Amino acid sequence: MPDYPFEPFRIKVVEPIKMTTRAEREAILREAGYNLFLVPAEDVTIDLLTDSGTAAMSDNQWAGMMIGDESYAGCKNFYHLEDTIKQIFGFQFFMPTHQGRAAENILFTVMVKPGQSIPSNMHFDTTFANIQVRGGRPVNLIKDEGLNPSFRGPFKGDIDLEKLENFITQTGTENIPLGMITITNNSGGGQPVSLSNIRQMSGTLRAHGVPFFIDACRYAENAYFIQQREPGYTNKSTVEIAREVFSYADGCTMSAKKDALVNIGGFLAMNDEDIYQKARTELILPTRGFRDVRRPDRAGSRGYVTRSVGGHR
User: Alpha-carbon distance 34 to 26, whole Å?
Assistant: 9
pLDDT in tens, 173-232: 999 999 999 998 888 778 999 999 999 999 999 999 999 999 998 999 999 999 999 999
pLDDT surpassing 70 at residue 261: yes
pLDDT of 151 above 70: yes
- Domain match, 165 and 215 both: yes
> Is there a single domain that holds both residue 181 and residue 38?
no
> What's the Cα-to-Cα distance from 241 to each of 83, 88, 209, 249, 251, rounded to whole Å?
18, 10, 25, 13, 16
Residue 114 lies in a domain: yes
Distance of alpha carbon 273 from alpha carbon 93, whole angstroms: 7
How confident is the prediction for the chain on average, in pLDDT?
85
pLDDT tens for 20-29 read 999 999 999 9
Q: 9 lies in a domain?
A: no
Q: How many domains does the chain have?
A: 2
Q: Are 164 and 28 in a shared domain?
A: no
pTM: 0.80
Does some domain include residue 93? yes
Q: Does the pLDDT at position 42 exceed 80? A: yes
Question: Is 265 domain-assigned?
Answer: yes
Domain membership of residue 300 (yes or no) is no
CATH number at residue 152: 3.40.640.10
Same domain, 240 and 139: yes
Whether 119 has a pLDDT exceeding 90, the answer reads yes
**153 and 32 within one domain:** no
236 and 185 within one domain: yes
Clarify whether residues 101 and 250 are in a common domain: yes
Does the residue 299 lie in any domain?
A: no
Q: Is 202 in the same domain as 238?
A: yes
Bond from prior residue into 184 cis (ω within 30 degrees of 0): yes
Q: What is the pLDDT of residue 278?
A: 87
**Are residues 86 and 223 both part of a single domain?**
yes
Query: Of the candidates 261, 217, 275, which has an alpha carbon nearest to the alpha carbon of residue 95?
Result: 275
Q: 35 and 184 in one domain? A: no
Residue-number span of the structural domain to which 217 is assigned:
59-63+74-283
DSSP, res 65: H
Residues 227 and 100 in one domain: yes
Residue 158: inside a domain? yes
Residue 69 lies in a domain: no
- What's the average model confidence in pLDDT over 38-52? 85
Hey, is 141 helix, strand or coil?
coil
Same domain, 33 and 104: no
